[in-house]
Structure 1
Amino acid sequence: MSEFASKVIVITGASSGIGAATAKELSKQGALLSLTGRNKERLAQVADECKNLGAKDVLYVVGDLSKQDDMERIIKETAEKFGEIHVLVNNAGFAVISPIADVTLDEFDRCFNVNVRAVLYLTKLALPYLEKTKGNIVNISSFLSSMYTLPGFTIYTTTKAACDHITKSSALELAKNGVRVNAVNPAVVETNAYTNTGFSEEQSKAAYVEQAKLHPLNERNIKVEEVVDAILFLASDKATMITGNCLRVDGGRALTGQ
């Protein structure tokens, strides 16, 4: 039996990409899932797929992580249904790709609200439950969070640097309570990220082809499943003495500085 069987796991940004893939893998292991996202139709579809894959039970809560009330409702409804929380996966993210000269404060606020403010506030809200279960948190950051960046990514990379610091600071603070906090920092993963920032399908495909060449290991982009494997490892009992770690899943790309 999987160690995740009957454990309550909250996953944000679960309607697509890394969040959906994580939910589906945990479903195969009999987890109890609380999924959240903004798109009700897609979220409901993922929830149904999770049930069919073996999830013991699935709650889905439609919510916008830029809104305080929605974040509070997500944790409240999870606690009301399941009574406890074992793992929080802060996966939801928003990217702004724009030259500094064109950036708006609305874009800045939206990106920080989802990528930083929500990570911190959901950690606070889930903490009383995680302390009781000696649970853990996995934040989804980026390999661009520290030493590396790209033109047009100023806001996004700054939010991911903040995410790493939340990970490390909260890991140190919460260690005394037996709660671990780690992050997964992937390089380019082929999801819907580019189209969500305004790229056409053709532009998105072309961008992924060019990005693939920059990953030294096998010269390909990161598979969603490879990020999921890292999330599940950090959330598992195999990582019982790992906290405050930002685990790069980048095919060696950070070594190149590109």
Structure 2
Amino acid sequence: MPRFCGKTVIITGSSNGIGRSAALLFAQEGANVTITGRNSDRLEETKQLLLKSGVPEKNINSVVADVTTSSGQDQLINTTLAKFGKIDILINNAGASIPDVTGATGIDQGIDIYQKTLQLNLQSVIEMTKKVKPHLIETKGEIVNISSIAGGSHAQPDFIYYSCAKSALDQFTRSSAIDLIKYGIRVNSVSPGVVATGFIGAAGLDNEAAKKFYKHMAAHKECIPAGVAGKPEDIANIILFLADRKISSYIIGQSIVADGGSTLMMAMQFGDAM
């Protein structure tokens, strides 16, 4: 029997990248999935990918919604309950580094960029967690948040507001894990490094620049010791591991770093000096 047979999963930000891969894996493992995103065309691509892989349409709830709005959050939850009757797993995946249209970088970015970045990467996670809590209490469910190595202890001046949001998300994961485990709800997270998704494009780079970025990172082992950018399915498999209580039941409030070794190389580089 598929390991998530009979389970219902909400995956925010599942119209592309890591969220799309997670939706595919969950559905192939028997789960009912609510997929969502703001772009209807990309969301339909995700749905068609699931259908072509053999997932029955009755197991898919596709919702075009903005997870940063209260109405969008309610739509996700209410349509999931209406179609599947319960919620077992929440994957808080929606997130992005939002570029300043003026071209400003670092702390020169507008405060509106800071507010939008935190609203997407942190506040929406908190709000979804609060709203789904009573339903996860009923099912003794799971929450997996998608953070980033940008939230770690190393400076990230190119992604200053994004790194602030992810650092705060890591603390929310730890604190909410302790708060919710008394109800039987587990909370954990994944912190990806460089993964070949639409993230770089969303941060303001065009397709050619994004390809150049990934090629550069993969070619420089001082950036990624593994010598290759991660794939969305690499992260999706970790998400499923954390959502599977049969094999990860004793993991609570942790963030699994999946970065090809990047964070191990973020200390001082001596190069030819040694």
- For Structure 1 versus Structure 2, the TM-score category normalised by the shorter chain is over 0.9
Gaps of 5+ in 1: none
Q: Which residue of 2 aligns with 1:82?
A: 84
Query: Cα offset for 1:245?
Result: 0.4
The answer to whether structure 1 residue 26 and structure 2 residue 32 are counterparts is: no
State the AA in 1 paired with 2:110.
Answer: T
The 5 A counterparts of 1:121-140 are 121-140=127-146
73, 93, 97: which one aligns with 1:71:
73
Query: Cα offset for 1:117?
Result: 0.5
1:126-173 CA distance string (max 9 Å, x none): 111111111100000001212123332110000000111111111000
C-alpha separation in 2, matches of 1:216 and 1:201 = 21
What SS does structure 2 have at the residue aligned with 1:152? helix
What SS does structure 2 have at the residue aligned with 1:153? helix
What SS does structure 2 have at the residue aligned with 1:118? helix
Q: Which residue of 2 aligns with 1:99?
A: 105
What SS does structure 2 have at the residue aligned with 1:148? coil
Q: Which residue of 1 aligns with 2:45?
A: 45
Q: Which residue of 1 aligns with 2:272?
A: none
The answer to whether the Cα contact below 8 Å between 1:9 and 1:89 also exists between their aligned partners in 2 is: yes
1:203-229 CA distance string (max 9 Å, x none): 111111222224443221112111111
The answer to whether structure 1 residue 243 and structure 2 residue 252 are counterparts is: yes
Q: Which residue of 1 aligns with 2:271?
A: none
Gaps of 5+ in 2: 268-274
Query: 11-20 or 88-97: which moved more?
Result: 88-97
Query: Cα offset for 1:54?
Result: 3.5
Q: Which residue of 2 aligns with 1:220?
A: 228
Q: Which residue of 2 aligns with 1:17?
A: 17
Q: How many residues align?
A: 258
Query: Cα offset for 1:37?
Result: 0.5
The 5 A counterparts of 1:59-208 are 59-96=61-98, 99-208=105-214
C-alpha separation in 1, matches of 2:68 and 2:180 = 24
Query: Cα offset for 1:101?
Result: 4.6
What SS does structure 2 have at the residue aligned with 1:177? coil
Query: Cα offset for 1:235?
Result: 0.5
1:49-99 CA distance string (max 9 Å, x none): 213324351001111122111111211111121111111000000203552
C-alpha separation in 2, matches of 1:5 and 1:250 = 30
What SS does structure 2 have at the residue aligned with 1:184? strand
Over the matched positions of the two proteins, sequence identity in percent amounts to: 35
C-alpha separation in 1, matches of 2:201 and 2:94 = 16
| Runs of 4+ with deviation above 3 angstroms | 214-217
Q: Which residue of 2 aligns with 1:252?
A: 261
- If the length of structure 1 is used for normalisation, what is the TM-score? 0.95
The answer to whether the Cα contact below 8 Å between 1:65 and 1:113 also exists between their aligned partners in 2 is: no
The answer to whether the Cα contact below 8 Å between 2:3 and 2:30 also exists between their aligned partners in 1 is: no
State the AA in 1 paired with 2:115.
Answer: D
Give the RMSD, CA atoms, in angstroms: 1.5
1:23-62 CA distance string (max 9 Å, x none): 1111211210111100112112212321332435100111
C-alpha separation in 2, matches of 1:210 and 1:216 = 10
The answer to whether the Cα contact below 8 Å between 1:184 and 1:230 also exists between their aligned partners in 2 is: yes
